[in-house]
Copies of this chain bind each other. A is one copy, B any other.
Amino acid sequence: MRTLYHTPLSPYCRKIRLLLREKDLDFDLIAENFWDRRLEFFALNPAGEVPVLLEPDGEVICGNHAIMEYLEEAYRDNKRFVGSSIAERAEVRRLIDWFDRKFDQEVTQNILFEKIFKRLWRYGEPHSDAIRAGKKNILYHLDYIAFLTLEHRYLTGDTPTLADMAAAAHLSAIDYLGDVPWEHNAKAKDWYALMKSRPSLRSVLTDRVAMAKPPEHYEDPDF
C-alpha cells in the first residue's frame, strides 16, 4: 500500500494529501511527530521532515516539491493538476511559490507556528506581535485570491490545479485556528467554499489535533 507520513495541520502535507485524492490514488496516512527524531524515520528521510511518500513498489519520495512533481509525472495518465501548457505550468508553479513561500512567511509562520508548533516543539511562548502581523497580512492574500478568481472559478482557470491546493492547504490550517476573517472578502470565501465542496479537502478537514478545536464553520462548505 502507498503510505504518506504526515503531520496534521502541516500545509505541505495537506497539499500532497489533496493531490493524492484528486488523482484518485489510495494511500494510508501515518502521523509522524518528526520532532521526536525517530531513527527509523531518519532512515526514510535523512532530512527528518514530512511529507514522505512511500510507494507500493518501495520507492521513497521526500520533500513536498519532489513528491508533487513525482506524482504529476509518475501518474500522468491520471488527471493532471500542474497545467497543460508550459505557460500554464509556470503560472501554477508561480502561485505554489506564492503560497508556500510568501503566504507561509507572512501568515502561516506568524499564526500556525506561533500558536501550535512552537508549543508542540517547546520553543517557548507565542509572540503576540507575530500573531497580529499574520492576521494583518492575511487580508491582502484574501484580496489576491479574489483578484485571481475574477474571471474564472479557480485560481488559474475553471478547473482546480496545485495552486488551489497549495492555497487551500495553508488557509485550511489557519482556518482550523479560526484566524481567517472570511467576512473580509466574499469572493475569496466563494472560492474556498468551492474548494470545501471537493471530497479531497473534506477528507483533510476531518483531522483533529489535541491542542485546539476548530470553529463551527470549519468543515461546512456553506459557511
- Most chain B CB atoms below 10 A, which of A49, A65, A70, A96: A65
**Which residues of chain B are near A120, meaning CB under 8 Å?**
none
Q: Which of A149-174 contact B (CB under 8 A)?
A: none
Query: Which A positions have Cβ atoms within 8 angstroms of B?
Result: 46-47, 49, 59, 61-66, 69-70, 73-74, 86-87, 89-90, 93-94, 96-98, 101-102, 144
Known pairs A86-B74, A90-B61; A66 contacts B97 (CB<8 A): yes
**Which residues of chain B are near A96, meaning CB under 8 Å?**
63, 65-66
CB-based contact A47/B97 at 8 Å: yes
Stoichiometry (number of copies): 2
CB-based contact B144/A93 at 8 Å: no
CB-based contact A86/B73 at 8 Å: yes
Residue in B46, B59, B89, B144 whose beta carbon sits within 8 Å of that of A144 in the complex: B46
**Which residues of chain B are near A86, meaning CB under 8 Å?**
70, 73-74
Nearest-CB distance from A189 to chain B (Å)? 21
Nearest-CB distance from A49 to chain B (Å)? 7
Residue in B47, B61, B93 whose beta carbon sits within 8 Å of that of A66 in the complex: B93
CB-based contact A102/B47 at 8 Å: yes
